[in-house]
Amino acid sequence: MPHALGLLGHSDADVLTHAIMDALLGAAALGDIGMHFPDTDPQYRGVSSLNLLRQVGAFLRQQGYTVSNIDATVVAQAPKLAPHIPAMRARLAEALEVTVARVSVKATTTEGLGFAGEGAGMAAYATACLRRAEPLSELA
């Protein structure tokens, strides 16, 4: 989305998608994005986080998981994200091959406090609930 400032990162610095990937992997106890897509690997330099999310979704399906729901919040003073949330939800859902109804995205500010409030960066938080097609072997 257009804005005078941008974010820096090894991949495309999409904080929302990174938080969602970590929540999904964590919900399945399958590590985190640093383990699966290390910033020491040059193949991930500048890569689209949505492409990585597609890979995470495929990996979860391969492991027998389906996404029940995702709830995510972006913390940013600017740009105003509310007008973009429907498109963001649609792109995330498409990448994960789930319905938009399973993906919640909210935006908030810190009312000028902290690094996000000062416009020095953004933060994102996400939780995910997964369903497993079969019981875990150690519980069965």
3-state SS track over 11-67: CCCCHHHHHHHHHHHHHCCCCCHHHHCCCCCHHHCCCCHHHHHHHHHHHHHHCCEEE
- 53 touches 96 (CB < 8 A): yes
Q: What percentage of the chain has pLDDT greater than the value 90?
A: 54
| Mean pLDDT score, 65-81 | 86
The neighbour count for residue 29, using CB atoms within 10 Å, is 7
Query: How much is the pLDDT for 135?
Result: 63
**How far is 22 from 106, CA to CA, in rounded Å?**
17
Residue 21 placed within a domain: yes
Residue 120 placed within a domain: yes
| Mean pLDDT score, 101-106 | 97
Give the CATH number for residue 33: 3.30.1330.50
pLDDT digits (tens, 9 = 90+) for 38-57: 888 888 777 889 999 999 99
Position 71 pLDDT exceeds 90: yes
- 56 touches 36 (CB < 8 A): yes
The neighbour count for residue 126, using CB atoms within 10 Å, is 24
pLDDT digits (tens, 9 = 90+) for 110-139: 555 554 555 556 789 999 999 997 766 655
**How far is 60 from 49, CA to CA, in rounded Å?**
16
Residue 8 placed within a domain: no
Position 98 pLDDT exceeds 90: yes
Query: How much is the pLDDT for 103?
Result: 98
Give the residue numbers spanning the domain of 29: 15-132
State the Rg of the chain over Cα. 16
Sole residue written with tokens 């429907």: 86
Residue 29 placed within a domain: yes
pLDDT band at 6 (very low <50, low <70, confident <90, very high): very low
State the total domains in the chain: 1
Residue 7 placed within a domain: no
Residue 3 placed within a domain: no
Residue 44 placed within a domain: yes
Residue 4 placed within a domain: no
